[in-house]
Amino acid sequence: MSVLTHSAAWRALQAHAASLEPQTLSQLFAGDGGRAQRLSAEFQGLFLDYSKQRLTGETLDLLVALAEQQGLAGWIGRLFAGEAVNHTEHRAAYHMALRAPPEATMQVAGRNVVPAVCEVRDRMRAFAEAVRSGEWRGASGERITDVVNIGIGGSDLGPRMVGKALAPLADGPRAHFVANVDGAQLHAELPRLRPESTLFVVTSKTFTTQETMANACAARDWLRATLGEAAVPKHFVAVSTNAAEVQKFGISLDNMFGFWDWVGGRYSLWGAVGLSLMLNLGPSRFDQLLAGAQAVDEHFRTAPFGQNLPVLLGLIGVWNRNFLGLADQVMAPYAQRLEKFVPWLQQLEMESNGKGVDRDGCRVDYATTPVLWGDVGTNSQHAFFQMLHQGSGVHPVDFILVREADHPYPRLNQLLLANGLAQSAAMMQGKDAAEVRAELIAAGLQGAALEAAIPHRVFNGNRPSSTLLLPRLDAWHLGALLALYEHRTFVLSVIWNLNAFDQWGVELGKQLAGRTLQAMEGQGAAGDASTAQLLVRLGY
Protein backbone atom coordinates (compact mmCIF):
# COMPACT_ATOMS: atom_id res chain seq x y z
CA MET A 1 0.00 0.00 0.00
CA SER A 2 1.12 3.57 -0.67
CA VAL A 3 1.67 6.10 2.06
CA LEU A 4 -1.65 7.72 1.13
CA THR A 5 -3.83 4.61 1.27
CA HIS A 6 -2.09 3.46 4.46
CA SER A 7 -2.59 6.84 6.17
CA ALA A 8 -4.87 7.40 9.13
CA ALA A 9 -7.09 9.89 7.31
CA TRP A 10 -7.60 7.57 4.34
CA ARG A 11 -8.41 4.56 6.51
CA ALA A 12 -10.84 6.61 8.60
CA LEU A 13 -12.71 7.56 5.45
CA GLN A 14 -12.82 3.94 4.30
CA ALA A 15 -14.34 2.88 7.61
CA HIS A 16 -16.79 5.77 7.51
CA ALA A 17 -17.90 4.91 3.96
CA ALA A 18 -18.65 1.35 5.07
CA SER A 19 -20.71 2.55 8.02
CA LEU A 20 -22.65 5.01 5.87
CA GLU A 21 -23.43 2.51 3.10
CA PRO A 22 -26.77 1.21 4.48
CA GLN A 23 -28.26 4.71 4.67
CA THR A 24 -29.92 6.11 1.56
CA LEU A 25 -30.07 9.77 0.63
CA SER A 26 -33.79 9.81 1.32
CA GLN A 27 -33.16 8.46 4.81
CA LEU A 28 -30.45 11.03 5.43
CA PHE A 29 -32.84 13.84 4.50
CA ALA A 30 -35.66 12.35 6.56
CA GLY A 31 -33.45 12.20 9.63
CA ASP A 32 -32.01 15.69 9.35
CA GLY A 33 -34.31 18.65 8.75
CA GLY A 34 -31.39 21.06 8.40
CA ARG A 35 -29.38 18.96 5.95
CA ALA A 36 -29.96 21.13 2.87
CA GLN A 37 -28.93 24.33 4.64
CA ARG A 38 -25.87 22.84 6.33
CA LEU A 39 -24.55 21.10 3.23
CA SER A 40 -24.53 24.22 1.09
CA ALA A 41 -22.04 27.04 0.55
CA GLU A 42 -22.08 30.39 -1.23
CA PHE A 43 -19.63 32.90 -2.66
CA GLN A 44 -20.73 36.18 -4.26
CA GLY A 45 -23.88 34.73 -5.79
CA LEU A 46 -22.48 31.30 -6.67
CA PHE A 47 -24.50 28.87 -4.57
CA LEU A 48 -23.45 25.24 -4.17
CA ASP A 49 -25.94 22.71 -2.79
CA TYR A 50 -24.18 19.40 -2.19
CA SER A 51 -26.78 17.98 0.19
CA LYS A 52 -27.76 15.36 -2.41
CA GLN A 53 -24.29 13.84 -2.25
CA ARG A 54 -24.03 10.59 -0.27
CA LEU A 55 -22.22 12.16 2.66
CA THR A 56 -22.79 13.77 6.04
CA GLY A 57 -21.21 16.49 8.11
CA GLU A 58 -18.93 13.82 9.57
CA THR A 59 -17.86 12.86 6.05
CA LEU A 60 -16.90 16.43 5.35
CA ASP A 61 -14.89 16.65 8.59
CA LEU A 62 -12.99 13.50 7.63
CA LEU A 63 -12.36 14.81 4.10
CA VAL A 64 -11.03 18.06 5.51
CA ALA A 65 -8.74 16.01 7.74
CA LEU A 66 -7.49 14.21 4.61
CA ALA A 67 -6.85 17.57 2.93
CA GLU A 68 -4.91 18.75 5.96
CA GLN A 69 -2.91 15.52 6.03
CA GLN A 70 -2.03 16.03 2.35
CA GLY A 71 -0.90 19.60 3.07
CA LEU A 72 -3.51 21.32 0.93
CA ALA A 73 -3.05 24.70 2.62
CA GLY A 74 0.69 24.56 1.98
CA TRP A 75 0.19 23.58 -1.65
CA ILE A 76 -2.24 26.47 -2.16
CA GLY A 77 0.39 28.74 -0.66
CA ARG A 78 3.07 27.38 -3.00
CA LEU A 79 0.78 27.72 -6.00
CA PHE A 80 0.07 31.38 -5.23
CA ALA A 81 3.70 32.09 -4.34
CA GLY A 82 4.76 31.19 -7.87
CA GLU A 83 6.82 28.18 -6.82
CA ALA A 84 7.63 25.44 -9.33
CA VAL A 85 4.66 23.21 -8.50
CA ASN A 86 5.07 21.74 -12.00
CA HIS A 87 8.20 19.94 -10.88
CA THR A 88 8.74 17.73 -13.94
CA GLU A 89 9.15 20.84 -16.11
CA HIS A 90 10.61 23.02 -13.32
CA ARG A 91 7.90 25.63 -13.78
CA ALA A 92 5.39 27.56 -11.76
CA ALA A 93 1.70 27.23 -12.64
CA TYR A 94 0.78 30.87 -12.32
CA HIS A 95 -2.25 31.38 -14.56
CA MET A 96 -3.74 33.38 -11.69
CA ALA A 97 -1.24 36.15 -12.52
CA LEU A 98 -2.90 36.57 -15.92
CA ARG A 99 -6.03 37.91 -14.21
CA ALA A 100 -4.29 39.86 -11.45
CA PRO A 101 -4.97 43.60 -11.07
CA PRO A 102 -2.11 45.95 -12.01
CA GLU A 103 -1.34 46.79 -8.38
CA ALA A 104 -0.78 43.14 -7.40
CA THR A 105 2.62 41.62 -6.72
CA MET A 106 2.97 38.04 -7.96
CA GLN A 107 6.46 36.66 -8.20
CA VAL A 108 8.10 33.87 -10.16
CA ALA A 109 11.74 33.19 -9.27
CA GLY A 110 11.86 36.42 -7.28
CA ARG A 111 10.52 38.63 -10.06
CA ASN A 112 7.13 40.35 -10.06
CA VAL A 113 5.45 39.14 -13.26
CA VAL A 114 2.40 41.40 -13.09
CA PRO A 115 4.00 44.34 -14.99
CA ALA A 116 4.84 42.04 -17.91
CA VAL A 117 1.30 40.59 -17.84
CA CYS A 118 -0.18 44.08 -17.87
CA GLU A 119 2.10 45.16 -20.72
CA VAL A 120 0.77 42.32 -22.91
CA ARG A 121 -2.79 43.01 -21.78
CA ASP A 122 -2.40 46.70 -22.67
CA ARG A 123 -1.07 45.77 -26.11
CA MET A 124 -4.00 43.42 -26.60
CA ARG A 125 -6.39 46.17 -25.54
CA ALA A 126 -4.85 48.73 -27.91
CA PHE A 127 -4.95 46.30 -30.81
CA ALA A 128 -8.54 45.22 -30.07
CA GLU A 129 -9.71 48.82 -29.86
CA ALA A 130 -7.98 49.64 -33.14
CA VAL A 131 -9.66 46.73 -34.91
CA ARG A 132 -13.05 47.30 -33.34
CA SER A 133 -13.03 51.02 -34.11
CA GLY A 134 -11.96 50.55 -37.73
CA GLU A 135 -8.58 52.19 -37.23
CA TRP A 136 -6.96 48.86 -38.15
CA ARG A 137 -8.18 47.74 -41.55
CA GLY A 138 -7.42 44.99 -43.99
CA ALA A 139 -5.00 45.34 -46.90
CA SER A 140 -7.74 46.63 -49.22
CA GLY A 141 -8.94 49.21 -46.69
CA GLU A 142 -12.00 47.34 -45.48
CA ARG A 143 -12.94 47.03 -41.81
CA ILE A 144 -12.39 43.71 -40.11
CA THR A 145 -15.73 41.95 -39.69
CA ASP A 146 -14.56 38.43 -38.80
CA VAL A 147 -11.83 37.03 -36.58
CA VAL A 148 -10.69 33.40 -36.88
CA ASN A 149 -8.76 31.86 -33.99
CA ILE A 150 -6.55 29.04 -35.26
CA GLY A 151 -5.25 26.88 -32.42
CA ILE A 152 -5.82 23.53 -30.77
CA GLY A 153 -6.20 22.18 -27.24
CA GLY A 154 -5.87 24.95 -24.70
CA SER A 155 -5.36 27.44 -27.53
CA ASP A 156 -8.83 26.64 -28.83
CA LEU A 157 -11.12 25.08 -26.20
CA GLY A 158 -11.00 28.00 -23.75
CA PRO A 159 -11.61 30.82 -26.25
CA ARG A 160 -14.18 28.75 -28.14
CA MET A 161 -16.11 27.96 -24.96
CA VAL A 162 -16.11 31.55 -23.68
CA GLY A 163 -17.01 32.91 -27.12
CA LYS A 164 -20.03 30.63 -27.26
CA ALA A 165 -21.07 31.31 -23.67
CA LEU A 166 -20.97 35.08 -24.05
CA ALA A 167 -22.10 35.28 -27.68
CA PRO A 168 -25.15 37.50 -26.93
CA LEU A 169 -22.80 40.09 -25.44
CA ALA A 170 -20.48 40.26 -28.46
CA ASP A 171 -20.38 43.61 -30.21
CA GLY A 172 -17.17 43.28 -32.24
CA PRO A 173 -16.04 41.22 -35.22
CA ARG A 174 -17.68 37.81 -35.46
CA ALA A 175 -15.59 35.06 -33.87
CA HIS A 176 -14.76 31.75 -35.58
CA PHE A 177 -12.61 28.87 -34.35
CA VAL A 178 -10.59 26.34 -36.29
CA ALA A 179 -8.73 23.58 -34.48
CA ASN A 180 -9.07 20.16 -36.09
CA VAL A 181 -6.47 19.27 -38.73
CA ASP A 182 -9.38 17.62 -40.52
CA GLY A 183 -9.67 20.08 -43.40
CA ALA A 184 -13.45 19.82 -43.27
CA GLN A 185 -13.50 22.30 -40.38
CA LEU A 186 -11.51 25.00 -42.16
CA HIS A 187 -13.34 24.30 -45.41
CA ALA A 188 -16.68 24.88 -43.69
CA GLU A 189 -15.55 28.26 -42.30
CA LEU A 190 -13.83 29.85 -45.30
CA PRO A 191 -16.94 30.15 -47.52
CA ARG A 192 -18.54 32.25 -44.77
CA LEU A 193 -15.64 34.73 -44.85
CA ARG A 194 -14.25 37.37 -47.17
CA PRO A 195 -10.44 37.71 -47.35
CA GLU A 196 -10.71 41.50 -47.42
CA SER A 197 -12.39 41.68 -44.00
CA THR A 198 -11.01 38.65 -42.15
CA LEU A 199 -8.32 38.61 -39.46
CA PHE A 200 -6.63 35.35 -38.45
CA VAL A 201 -5.21 34.90 -34.94
CA VAL A 202 -2.70 32.04 -35.05
CA THR A 203 -2.34 30.74 -31.51
CA SER A 204 0.61 28.46 -30.80
CA LYS A 205 3.26 28.94 -28.11
CA THR A 206 5.99 27.37 -30.22
CA PHE A 207 4.46 28.26 -33.59
CA THR A 208 5.32 24.71 -34.63
CA THR A 209 2.19 22.85 -33.43
CA GLN A 210 1.46 20.53 -36.33
CA GLU A 211 -2.32 20.91 -36.56
CA THR A 212 -2.31 24.67 -35.94
CA MET A 213 0.39 25.47 -38.46
CA ALA A 214 -1.14 23.24 -41.13
CA ASN A 215 -4.44 25.12 -40.78
CA ALA A 216 -2.66 28.48 -40.64
CA CYS A 217 -0.75 27.74 -43.85
CA ALA A 218 -3.95 26.68 -45.61
CA ALA A 219 -5.67 29.89 -44.46
CA ARG A 220 -2.69 31.95 -45.65
CA ASP A 221 -2.88 30.28 -49.08
CA TRP A 222 -6.60 31.14 -49.23
CA LEU A 223 -5.88 34.78 -48.41
CA ARG A 224 -2.94 35.10 -50.80
CA ALA A 225 -4.98 33.69 -53.67
CA THR A 226 -7.16 36.82 -53.54
CA LEU A 227 -5.05 39.56 -51.94
CA GLY A 228 -1.46 38.48 -52.57
CA GLU A 229 1.51 37.91 -50.28
CA ALA A 230 1.76 41.56 -49.24
CA ALA A 231 -1.64 41.36 -47.53
CA VAL A 232 -0.54 38.73 -44.97
CA PRO A 233 0.72 41.19 -42.27
CA LYS A 234 -2.65 42.99 -42.28
CA HIS A 235 -4.68 39.81 -41.90
CA PHE A 236 -2.59 37.61 -39.61
CA VAL A 237 -1.44 38.15 -36.03
CA ALA A 238 0.25 35.68 -33.69
CA VAL A 239 -0.12 34.56 -30.11
CA SER A 240 3.24 32.93 -29.58
CA THR A 241 6.68 33.07 -27.98
CA ASN A 242 8.68 32.02 -31.06
CA ALA A 243 9.62 35.27 -32.79
CA ALA A 244 11.71 33.59 -35.49
CA GLU A 245 8.89 31.31 -36.66
CA VAL A 246 6.34 34.12 -36.46
CA GLN A 247 8.47 36.31 -38.73
CA LYS A 248 9.13 33.40 -41.06
CA PHE A 249 5.37 32.95 -41.45
CA GLY A 250 5.02 36.60 -42.53
CA ILE A 251 3.66 38.20 -39.36
CA SER A 252 5.20 41.39 -37.99
CA LEU A 253 6.65 41.08 -34.49
CA ASP A 254 4.63 44.20 -33.64
CA ASN A 255 1.61 41.93 -33.97
CA MET A 256 2.93 39.05 -31.86
CA PHE A 257 1.40 38.73 -28.40
CA GLY A 258 3.39 36.61 -26.00
CA PHE A 259 2.90 34.54 -22.88
CA TRP A 260 5.11 32.56 -20.53
CA ASP A 261 6.20 29.03 -19.74
CA TRP A 262 4.58 29.31 -16.30
CA VAL A 263 1.17 29.23 -17.98
CA GLY A 264 -0.02 25.84 -19.20
CA GLY A 265 -2.07 25.70 -22.38
CA ARG A 266 -5.31 24.59 -20.73
CA TYR A 267 -5.01 27.49 -18.25
CA SER A 268 -4.08 30.15 -20.81
CA LEU A 269 -7.29 31.76 -22.05
CA TRP A 270 -6.87 34.59 -19.50
CA GLY A 271 -3.90 36.07 -21.35
CA ALA A 272 -2.96 36.56 -24.99
CA VAL A 273 -4.70 33.30 -25.94
CA GLY A 274 -7.89 35.26 -25.26
CA LEU A 275 -7.10 37.86 -27.95
CA SER A 276 -9.92 36.65 -30.21
CA LEU A 277 -12.30 37.09 -27.25
CA MET A 278 -11.13 40.62 -26.60
CA LEU A 279 -11.69 41.44 -30.27
CA ASN A 280 -15.14 39.87 -30.25
CA LEU A 281 -16.42 40.92 -26.80
CA GLY A 282 -14.39 44.07 -26.19
CA PRO A 283 -11.74 44.88 -23.58
CA SER A 284 -14.29 45.82 -20.92
CA ARG A 285 -16.05 42.45 -20.95
CA PHE A 286 -12.73 40.64 -21.11
CA ASP A 287 -11.72 42.54 -17.98
CA GLN A 288 -14.96 41.42 -16.29
CA LEU A 289 -14.13 37.81 -17.17
CA LEU A 290 -10.74 38.26 -15.48
CA ALA A 291 -12.31 39.95 -12.47
CA GLY A 292 -14.71 37.07 -11.82
CA ALA A 293 -11.85 34.57 -11.96
CA GLN A 294 -9.64 36.73 -9.75
CA ALA A 295 -12.37 36.94 -7.11
CA VAL A 296 -12.52 33.14 -6.96
CA ASP A 297 -8.71 33.04 -6.76
CA GLU A 298 -8.88 35.08 -3.55
CA HIS A 299 -11.75 32.98 -2.22
CA PHE A 300 -9.79 29.79 -2.88
CA ARG A 301 -6.67 31.22 -1.28
CA THR A 302 -8.30 32.54 1.89
CA ALA A 303 -11.64 30.82 2.69
CA PRO A 304 -11.78 28.03 5.30
CA PHE A 305 -11.97 24.61 3.69
CA GLY A 306 -15.53 23.96 4.90
CA GLN A 307 -16.77 27.11 3.13
CA ASN A 308 -14.37 27.07 0.18
CA LEU A 309 -16.23 26.17 -3.01
CA PRO A 310 -13.29 24.77 -5.02
CA VAL A 311 -12.12 22.78 -2.00
CA LEU A 312 -15.61 21.39 -1.38
CA LEU A 313 -16.00 20.34 -5.00
CA GLY A 314 -12.58 18.70 -4.93
CA LEU A 315 -13.21 16.84 -1.68
CA ILE A 316 -16.58 15.60 -2.94
CA GLY A 317 -14.79 14.36 -6.06
CA VAL A 318 -12.31 12.42 -3.94
CA TRP A 319 -15.12 10.97 -1.81
CA ASN A 320 -17.06 9.75 -4.84
CA ARG A 321 -14.02 8.39 -6.68
CA ASN A 322 -12.02 6.77 -3.92
CA PHE A 323 -14.47 5.87 -1.18
CA LEU A 324 -17.74 5.27 -3.03
CA GLY A 325 -15.96 3.74 -6.03
CA LEU A 326 -17.70 5.87 -8.66
CA ALA A 327 -15.71 5.81 -11.89
CA ASP A 328 -17.01 8.87 -13.70
CA GLN A 329 -18.27 12.42 -13.24
CA VAL A 330 -21.18 13.74 -15.27
CA MET A 331 -21.60 17.46 -15.99
CA ALA A 332 -25.06 18.76 -16.84
CA PRO A 333 -25.11 22.52 -17.41
CA TYR A 334 -28.70 23.66 -17.88
CA ALA A 335 -27.72 26.53 -20.15
CA GLN A 336 -27.44 26.15 -23.91
CA ARG A 337 -24.66 28.71 -24.04
CA LEU A 338 -22.52 26.41 -21.89
CA GLU A 339 -22.55 23.67 -24.54
CA LYS A 340 -18.73 23.92 -24.89
CA PHE A 341 -18.14 23.90 -21.13
CA VAL A 342 -17.88 20.11 -20.90
CA PRO A 343 -15.17 19.76 -23.61
CA TRP A 344 -13.20 22.56 -21.92
CA LEU A 345 -13.54 20.84 -18.55
CA GLN A 346 -12.63 17.46 -20.00
CA GLN A 347 -9.26 18.81 -21.07
CA LEU A 348 -8.75 20.70 -17.82
CA GLU A 349 -9.48 17.72 -15.58
CA MET A 350 -8.39 14.68 -17.55
CA GLU A 351 -5.21 16.21 -18.97
CA SER A 352 -4.29 17.55 -15.53
CA ASN A 353 -5.08 14.53 -13.35
CA GLY A 354 -5.10 11.67 -15.84
CA LYS A 355 -1.91 10.30 -14.28
CA GLY A 356 -0.93 6.88 -12.96
CA VAL A 357 2.22 7.93 -11.08
CA ASP A 358 2.45 10.36 -8.19
CA ARG A 359 4.73 13.35 -7.79
CA ASP A 360 7.51 11.06 -6.60
CA GLY A 361 7.30 8.90 -9.73
CA CYS A 362 5.68 5.93 -7.93
CA ARG A 363 2.76 4.00 -9.37
CA VAL A 364 -0.42 4.83 -7.48
CA ASP A 365 -2.57 2.13 -5.90
CA TYR A 366 -5.69 4.29 -5.81
CA ALA A 367 -7.99 5.68 -8.46
CA THR A 368 -7.21 9.11 -9.88
CA THR A 369 -9.27 11.21 -12.26
CA PRO A 370 -12.70 9.83 -13.20
CA VAL A 371 -13.99 9.87 -16.75
CA LEU A 372 -15.67 13.26 -17.13
CA TRP A 373 -18.49 13.64 -19.62
CA GLY A 374 -21.89 15.21 -20.13
CA ASP A 375 -23.95 17.65 -22.17
CA VAL A 376 -26.41 20.47 -21.74
CA GLY A 377 -29.86 19.98 -20.26
CA THR A 378 -32.56 19.43 -21.31
CA ASN A 379 -31.07 17.74 -24.40
CA SER A 380 -29.22 15.23 -22.25
CA GLN A 381 -32.46 14.13 -20.58
CA HIS A 382 -33.43 12.61 -23.93
CA ALA A 383 -30.05 10.93 -24.39
CA PHE A 384 -28.15 9.47 -21.43
CA PHE A 385 -30.31 10.33 -18.43
CA GLN A 386 -32.11 7.00 -18.76
CA MET A 387 -28.83 5.37 -17.74
CA LEU A 388 -28.33 7.84 -14.89
CA HIS A 389 -31.71 6.93 -13.41
CA GLN A 390 -32.01 3.20 -14.04
CA GLY A 391 -28.65 1.94 -15.27
CA SER A 392 -26.69 -0.71 -13.39
CA GLY A 393 -24.00 1.80 -12.39
CA VAL A 394 -24.09 5.01 -10.35
CA HIS A 395 -22.88 8.20 -12.01
CA PRO A 396 -22.58 11.37 -9.89
CA VAL A 397 -23.75 14.57 -11.58
CA ASP A 398 -22.91 18.25 -11.22
CA PHE A 399 -25.94 20.28 -12.30
CA ILE A 400 -25.27 23.92 -13.24
CA LEU A 401 -28.31 26.20 -13.35
CA VAL A 402 -28.52 29.89 -14.27
CA ARG A 403 -31.27 31.82 -12.52
CA GLU A 404 -31.76 34.78 -14.89
CA ALA A 405 -32.46 34.21 -18.57
CA ASP A 406 -30.90 36.36 -21.28
CA HIS A 407 -33.79 35.86 -23.68
CA PRO A 408 -37.38 37.16 -23.79
CA TYR A 409 -39.03 33.80 -23.01
CA PRO A 410 -39.57 33.57 -19.24
CA ARG A 411 -41.76 30.48 -19.54
CA LEU A 412 -38.97 28.59 -21.32
CA ASN A 413 -36.52 29.55 -18.60
CA GLN A 414 -38.97 28.37 -15.96
CA LEU A 415 -39.29 25.02 -17.73
CA LEU A 416 -35.52 24.71 -18.01
CA LEU A 417 -34.98 25.34 -14.29
CA ALA A 418 -37.84 23.03 -13.32
CA ASN A 419 -36.30 20.24 -15.36
CA GLY A 420 -32.87 20.68 -13.83
CA LEU A 421 -34.22 20.67 -10.28
CA ALA A 422 -36.51 17.72 -11.01
CA GLN A 423 -33.71 15.60 -12.40
CA SER A 424 -31.54 16.01 -9.32
CA ALA A 425 -34.54 15.29 -7.07
CA ALA A 426 -35.45 12.19 -9.06
CA MET A 427 -31.89 10.86 -8.87
CA MET A 428 -31.97 11.27 -5.10
CA GLN A 429 -35.53 10.09 -4.34
CA GLY A 430 -36.18 7.42 -6.95
CA LYS A 431 -39.52 5.60 -6.93
CA ASP A 432 -40.10 2.31 -5.13
CA ALA A 433 -42.34 -0.60 -6.11
CA ALA A 434 -45.15 0.45 -3.79
CA GLU A 435 -45.38 3.88 -5.40
CA VAL A 436 -45.31 2.37 -8.88
CA ARG A 437 -47.99 -0.17 -7.94
CA ALA A 438 -50.31 2.55 -6.62
CA GLU A 439 -49.86 4.66 -9.74
CA LEU A 440 -50.54 1.76 -12.10
CA ILE A 441 -53.60 0.62 -10.18
CA ALA A 442 -54.93 4.18 -10.32
CA ALA A 443 -54.36 4.07 -14.07
CA GLY A 444 -56.50 0.90 -14.30
CA LEU A 445 -53.80 -1.76 -14.60
CA GLN A 446 -54.26 -5.02 -12.66
CA GLY A 447 -53.41 -8.68 -12.51
CA ALA A 448 -50.44 -10.17 -14.38
CA ALA A 449 -50.04 -7.07 -16.50
CA LEU A 450 -49.65 -4.97 -13.35
CA GLU A 451 -47.01 -7.26 -11.87
CA ALA A 452 -45.10 -7.42 -15.15
CA ALA A 453 -45.03 -3.63 -15.48
CA ILE A 454 -43.77 -2.77 -12.00
CA PRO A 455 -40.06 -3.72 -12.28
CA HIS A 456 -39.60 -1.56 -15.37
CA ARG A 457 -40.88 1.53 -13.60
CA VAL A 458 -38.93 1.26 -10.34
CA PHE A 459 -36.16 3.81 -9.77
CA ASN A 460 -33.65 2.94 -7.07
CA GLY A 461 -32.72 6.55 -6.37
CA ASN A 462 -29.86 7.19 -3.95
CA ARG A 463 -27.83 8.62 -6.84
CA PRO A 464 -25.64 11.56 -5.87
CA SER A 465 -25.53 15.03 -7.37
CA SER A 466 -24.54 18.59 -6.59
CA THR A 467 -26.26 21.70 -7.90
CA LEU A 468 -24.40 24.94 -8.60
CA LEU A 469 -26.55 28.04 -9.11
CA LEU A 470 -25.32 31.11 -10.99
CA PRO A 471 -27.28 34.37 -10.85
CA ARG A 472 -26.69 35.05 -14.54
CA LEU A 473 -24.35 34.02 -17.34
CA ASP A 474 -22.37 37.23 -17.77
CA ALA A 475 -18.62 37.69 -18.15
CA TRP A 476 -17.95 38.03 -14.40
CA HIS A 477 -19.86 34.92 -13.37
CA LEU A 478 -18.46 32.88 -16.26
CA GLY A 479 -14.94 33.82 -15.17
CA ALA A 480 -15.80 32.80 -11.63
CA LEU A 481 -17.23 29.47 -12.81
CA LEU A 482 -14.13 28.60 -14.80
CA ALA A 483 -11.74 29.51 -11.99
CA LEU A 484 -13.87 27.46 -9.60
CA TYR A 485 -13.26 24.31 -11.64
CA GLU A 486 -9.61 25.16 -12.29
CA HIS A 487 -8.98 25.21 -8.56
CA ARG A 488 -11.13 22.11 -7.99
CA THR A 489 -8.75 20.31 -10.35
CA PHE A 490 -5.78 21.47 -8.28
CA VAL A 491 -7.40 20.28 -5.04
CA LEU A 492 -7.86 16.82 -6.54
CA SER A 493 -4.21 16.73 -7.63
CA VAL A 494 -3.02 17.60 -4.12
CA ILE A 495 -5.11 14.88 -2.48
CA TRP A 496 -3.89 12.34 -5.05
CA ASN A 497 -0.29 13.66 -4.89
CA LEU A 498 -0.16 14.33 -8.64
CA ASN A 499 1.46 16.98 -10.80
CA ALA A 500 -1.57 18.62 -12.40
CA PHE A 501 0.45 20.75 -14.81
CA ASP A 502 2.39 18.43 -17.11
CA GLN A 503 0.97 16.25 -19.90
CA TRP A 504 3.58 13.82 -21.14
CA GLY A 505 0.91 11.54 -22.57
CA VAL A 506 0.01 14.27 -25.06
CA GLU A 507 3.67 14.57 -26.07
CA LEU A 508 3.90 10.83 -26.83
CA GLY A 509 1.00 11.09 -29.26
CA LYS A 510 2.69 14.00 -31.04
CA GLN A 511 5.93 12.03 -31.40
CA LEU A 512 4.23 8.99 -32.87
CA ALA A 513 2.15 11.12 -35.24
CA GLY A 514 5.37 12.59 -36.60
CA ARG A 515 6.86 9.14 -37.19
CA THR A 516 3.67 7.91 -38.85
CA LEU A 517 3.64 10.93 -41.15
CA GLN A 518 7.21 10.13 -42.17
CA ALA A 519 6.17 6.56 -42.97
CA MET A 520 3.31 7.88 -45.12
CA GLU A 521 5.80 10.01 -47.02
CA GLY A 522 8.09 7.04 -47.61
CA GLN A 523 10.77 8.24 -45.21
CA GLY A 524 10.56 5.39 -42.71
CA ALA A 525 8.72 2.27 -41.64
CA ALA A 526 5.57 2.00 -39.55
CA GLY A 527 6.28 1.22 -35.92
CA ASP A 528 4.16 -1.94 -35.69
CA ALA A 529 2.43 -4.48 -37.89
CA SER A 530 -1.07 -3.15 -37.20
CA THR A 531 -0.15 0.40 -38.20
CA ALA A 532 1.65 -0.91 -41.30
CA GLN A 533 -1.46 -2.82 -42.35
CA LEU A 534 -3.71 0.20 -41.81
CA LEU A 535 -1.38 2.43 -43.82
CA VAL A 536 -1.63 0.01 -46.73
CA ARG A 537 -5.42 0.05 -46.45
CA LEU A 538 -5.32 3.85 -46.51
CA GLY A 539 -3.25 3.81 -49.70
CA TYR A 540 0.23 4.53 -48.33
CA distance 158 to 478: 12
CA distance 484 to 46: 10
Torsional sign, CA 226, 229, 234, 235: positive
CA distance 60 to 67: 10
Q: Exactly one of 83, 189, 211, 351 is catalytic; name it.
A: 351
Active site residue 395: no
Active site residue 382: yes
Q: Exactly one of 6, 87, 248, 510 is catalytic; name it.
A: 510
3-class DSSP assignment, residue 227: helix
Judged on CB neighbours under 10 Å (0-12, 13-18, 19+), 364 is: middle
CA distance 382 to 269: 32
Q: What is the CA radius of gyration of the chain?
A: 25
Q: What is the DSSP string of 434-486?
A: HHHHHHHHHTT--HHHHHHHHHHH-B-----EEEEEES--SHHHHHHHHHHHH
Contact 4, 497 (CB under 8 A): yes
Q: Exactly one of 90, 382, 407, 456 is catalytic; name it.
A: 382
Q: Calculate helix-pair angle for 72-80, 57-69, nearest 10 degrees.
A: 60
List Cα–Cα distances, 511 to 131, 182, 236, 518, in angstroms.
Answer: 38, 19, 28, 11
DSSP 235: H
Active site residue 431: no
Candidates 200, 177, 173, 201; CA nearest to 188 is 177
Catalytic residues: 351, 382, 510
